[in-house]
Amino acid sequence: MDSEGKQTFFTPIGEVGGSVGYSGVSITSNPSQVAKAADKYLKDSLLLHKLTERVYEILLEDLRCQKERFNNYSHQRWL
C-alpha cells in the first residue's frame, strides 16, 4: 500500500464499541508482517498521519456510542 492507497486491516461491522465490532484477518498472526507494516507506517509520515487520524475518529465514535448507551440506561422507564 502506498500513501495514496487505502487499505483496512479490520472492517467495522456495526457499532465500534461492541464486543464483535471488527471482522477480518488480522496481520498480527504473523510477526514479520506486523514488523513490515509498522516499518512502512513509521517511514511514511503522511501514511502515519492518516492512520492516527483514523484511530482518533474511531475513538471519538466509540466514546459517542458509550455516552449514548449510558444516557439510555440512566433514564427511568415508566411501565
As averages over each run of 10 residues, the pLDDT of the chain (79 residues) reads 52 52 58 89 95 94 89 66
Q: Which residues, in sequence order, are CB contacts of 46 under 8 Å at separation 6+? A: 3
- Name the grid cell of 3: 500513501
Give pLDDT, residue 20: 47
Give pLDDT, residue 45: 95
Enter the pTM of the model.
0.51
Where along the chain do its domains lie? Answer: 30-74
